[in-house]
């Protein structure tokens, strides 16, 4: 097959290593890797890194839903500009709970995405009997909460047990938000009773203990049921240790890492209030704790990276008080730049970035090797990076509707020069080309 496109002379980075090679693309797929003739359109990539496109499996784009916070065009523009070519999306206020909901959301999103996307379901306790049908309709995973959050009812231990047993029957996937309901509810009552309105209440309301208790419970039930479970946004080294322990007992549990638990400390929650309101909150209190987080990330205790992109504008964040301010941070604009910078500064390897933010999440949700890899037959989703470049984060350059970032003012080493989706350029120099060619990717259980 004659290639449409050849990427010449770049340094291709995979999860296991890097090598200088050319990449040939035809019909949107990788058709050859090696020392190749300059066929078709030639992209000169000497001096650049070539990474497979990032696969972000925890994203909220509010579309349909509260699109005044974000929508698919703005959110996926941010993704494309910063190297993310595949997302798995779910929106709490407009949940997918049935095959009909999924069909409706798919048709609403036709022509609204700049990157390829899967869609996840939310699980209400009473919907457990319908899980098989939803899985076969093509959802990527089931989102579950152990505490009532963002309007989604929490599942108690018995309901988590029932849901995971059901999930194990058909080999499904789950993403579980872990905070213990009785501990957060009691803390909320106490803090409100004391009339507390200061930002520090966030760390007491959404305490470490509440997260640890729920992580331990869900890990045990994952082990006994045999279900495949990702624990969302694991925020601290002790929690990671509990997940590792469950894995040593044979549980198929994965700890998800988000940049905010590495980049932001507990003192920032106190200092910035609503602009650092997300849950679980940033926990890190010392360099020693931060070092343990990086060691867990490098050493495989964390399975993969995701943003938990859940943006609000500065105005939306600042309205009302600390109790009523919306949870969440924008993340799609900054997550690859943040971890690239970390890799180029020696905190991790570039291979770790590819493993954690591309290869492993693609594998976990059944998208590999079409996504998360640059081997023959893979989709030609790739990112060109200049390791000598630098990017200063500024609010005015944030493409998410949020229009701000907790990292504004920071300078990241490495600049994302261009992003390609199935062989087509979808972004260059921090700008998305807005062709909205993103396609729906059905989940592992799809009968389509
Ligand atoms: Zn989330």
* Burial readout 130-151 (b: 16 or more C-beta within 10 A, e: otherwise): bbeebbbbbbbbbbbbbbebbe
Distance 70 CA to ligand 1 centre (A): 14
What average pLDDT does the segment 221-236 reach? 98
Distance 260 CA to ligand 1 centre (A): 12
Distance 138 CA to ligand 1 centre (A): 20
Average pLDDT, the chain: 97
Q: Is 114 a residue whose pLDDT tops 90? A: yes
Q: Which of 147, 343, 365, 156 lies closest to 254, judged by CA? A: 365
Distance 308 CA to ligand 1 centre (A): 5
Distance 67 CA to ligand 1 centre (A): 16
Distance 310 CA to ligand 1 centre (A): 7
What average pLDDT does the segment 144-158 reach? 94
Phi then psi for 389, rounded to 5 degrees? -75, 165
Query: How far apart are alpha carbons 268 and 90 in whole angstroms?
Result: 28
N-term to C-term CA, the chain: 29
pLDDT tens-digit series, residues 189-214: 999 999 999 999 999 999 999 999 99
pLDDT tens-digit series, residues 343-374: 999 999 999 999 999 999 999 999 999 999 99
pLDDT category, 391, cuts 50, 70, 90?
very high
Q: Which of 441, 384, 382, 373 lies closest to 415, judged by CA? A: 384
Distance 6 CA to ligand 1 centre (A): 38
Query: How far apart are alpha carbons 254 and 231 in whole angstroms?
Result: 6
Distance 33 CA to ligand 1 centre (A): 37
Distance 60 CA to ligand 1 centre (A): 7
pLDDT given for residue 151 in this prediction = 87
Q: Is 448 a residue whose pLDDT tops 80? A: no
Query: How far apart are alpha carbons 413 and 392 in whole angstroms?
Result: 9
Distance 281 CA to ligand 1 centre (A): 12
Residues with CB under 5 A from ligand 1 (ion): 308
pLDDT given for residue 245 in this prediction = 97
pLDDT tens-digit series, residues 414-429: 999 999 999 999 999 9
Q: What H or E segment, with its residue span, contains residue 143?
A: strand 142-145
Query: How far apart are alpha carbons 101 and 104 in whole angstroms?
Result: 5
pLDDT given for residue 254 in this prediction = 98
pTM greater than 0.95: yes
Distance 58 CA to ligand 1 centre (A): 6
């Amino acid at each position: 097959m004659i290639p449409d496109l050849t990427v010449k002379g770049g340094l291709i980075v995979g999860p296991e290593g890097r090598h200088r090679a050319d990449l040939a693309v035809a019909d949107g797929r990788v058709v050859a890797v090696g020392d190749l003739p300059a066929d078709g359109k030639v992209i000169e990539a000497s001096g650049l890194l070539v990474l497979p496109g990032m696969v972000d499996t925890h994203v909220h784009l509010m579309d349909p839903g509260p699109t005044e916070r974000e929508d698919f065009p703005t959110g996926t523009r941010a993704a494309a500009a910063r190297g993310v070519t595949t997302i798995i999306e779910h929106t709490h206020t407009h949940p997918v709970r049935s095959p009909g909901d999924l069909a409706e959301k798919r048709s609403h999103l036709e022509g609204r995405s700049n990157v390829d996307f899967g869609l996840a379901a939310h699980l209400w306790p009473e919907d457990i009997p319908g899980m098989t049908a939803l899985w076969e309709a093509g959802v990527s995973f089931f989102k579950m909460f152990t505490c009532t959050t963002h309007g989604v009812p929490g599942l108690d231990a018995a309901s988590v047990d029932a849901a995971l047993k059901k999930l194990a029957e058909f080999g499904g996937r789950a993403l579980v938000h872990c905070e213990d309901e009785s501990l957060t509810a009691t803390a909320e009552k106490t803090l409100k009773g004391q009339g507390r309105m200061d930002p520090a209440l966030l760390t007491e309301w959404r305490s470490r203990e509440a997260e640890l208790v729920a992580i331990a419970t869900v890990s045990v039930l994952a082990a006994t049921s045999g279900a495949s479970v990702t624990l969302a946004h694991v925020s601290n080294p002790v929690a990671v240790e509990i997940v590792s322990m469950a894995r040593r007992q044979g549980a198929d549990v994965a700890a998800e890492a988000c940049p905010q638990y590495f980049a932001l400390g507990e003192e920032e929650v106190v200092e910035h209030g609503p602009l650092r309101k997300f849950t679980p909150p940033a926990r890190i209190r010392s360099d020693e704790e931060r070092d343990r987080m990086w060691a867990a990330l490098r050493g495989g205790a964390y399975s993969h990276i995701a943003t938990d992109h859940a943006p609000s504008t500065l105005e939306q964040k600042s309205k009302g008080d600390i109790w009523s301010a919306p949870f969440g941070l924008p993340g799609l604009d900054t997550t690859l730049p943040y971890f690239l910078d970390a890799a180029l500064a020696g905190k991790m390897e570039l291979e770790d970035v590819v493993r954690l933010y591309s290869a492993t999440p693609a594998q976990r949700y059944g998208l590999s090797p079409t996504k998360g890899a640059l081997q023959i037959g893979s989709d030609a989703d790739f990112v060109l990076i200049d390791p000598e470049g630098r990017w200063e984060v500024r609010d005015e350059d944030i493409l998410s509707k949020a229009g701000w970032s907790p990292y504004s003012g920071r300078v990241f080493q490495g600049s994302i020069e261009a992003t390609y989706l199935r062989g087509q350029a979808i972004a260059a120099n921090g700008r998305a080309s807005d062709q909205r060619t993103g396609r729906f990717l059905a989940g592992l259980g799809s009968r389509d």
